[in-house]
C-alpha cells in the first residue's frame, strides 16, 4: 500500500523505470563523460519522477507547474539522446527506443495535466 499519492500514478512508475534504464545505458559510457553527459542524463531522467512526487504535495495549480518541469526534463532527455548519438555513445536504434519512451512519458504528463481541474 502506498503512503503517498504519487506512487499510484502510472506515469510516476514509468518515470522510475526510465531512470533505471538510463542508469543501465550510461553505465557503459566512457569515464570522461561521467561528470558531463552521463551525469546530466541521469539527473534529467531522475527529475521527471522527482517533480511528479514533489508536485503532489501542493495544490492542483502548483502540481501543474511541477508537471511542466517534468515535461521539460523529458525534452532535455531528448536533446541528450541527440548529443549522445552525435558522439557515437549510442546507436540510432537505441536513440529511437529511448526517444519513444520519453515521448510516451511526455504525453502521459500532458494527459495528467489536462485531467486536473483549474482552481
**pLDDT value at 38 more than 90:** yes
> Residue 54: its pLDDT value, please?
94
Is 119 inside a domain boundary?
no
Is 57 inside a domain boundary?
yes
Is 89 inside a domain boundary?
yes
pLDDT digits (tens, 9 = 90+) for 62-108: 999 999 999 999 999 999 999 999 999 999 999 999 999 999 999 99
> Residue 2: its pLDDT value, please?
61
The CATH number that applies at residue 74 is 1.20.1440.60
* Buried/exposed code over 60-79 (b: 16+ C-beta within 10 A; e: otherwise): eeebbebbebbbbbbebbbe
> Residue 64: its pLDDT value, please?
95
Domain count, the chain: 1
Range of 109's domain?
5-114
Is residue 112 within 8 Å of residue 9, measured between CB atoms?
yes
Amino acid at each position: 500500500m502506498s503512503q503517498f499519492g504519487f506512487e499510484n500514478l502510472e506515469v510516476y512508475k514509468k518515470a522510475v523505470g526510465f531512470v533505471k534504464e538510463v542508469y543501465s545505458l550510461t553505465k557503459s559510457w566512457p569515464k570522461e563523460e561521467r561528470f558531463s553527459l552521463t551525469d546530466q542524463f541521469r539527473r534529467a531522467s531522475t527529475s521527471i519522477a522527482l517533480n511528479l512526487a514533489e508536485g503532489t504535495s501542493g495544490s492542483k495549480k502548483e502540481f501543474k507547474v511541477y508537471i511542466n518541469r517534468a515535461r521539460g526534463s523529458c525534452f532535455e532527455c531528448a536533446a541528450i539522446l541527440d548529443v549522445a548519438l552525435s558522439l557515437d555513445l549510442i546507436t540510432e536504434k537505441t536513440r529511437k527506443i529511448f526517444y519513444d519512451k520519453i515521448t510516451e512519458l511526455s504525453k502521459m504528463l500532458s494527459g495528467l495535466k489536462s485531467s486536473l481541474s483549474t482552481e
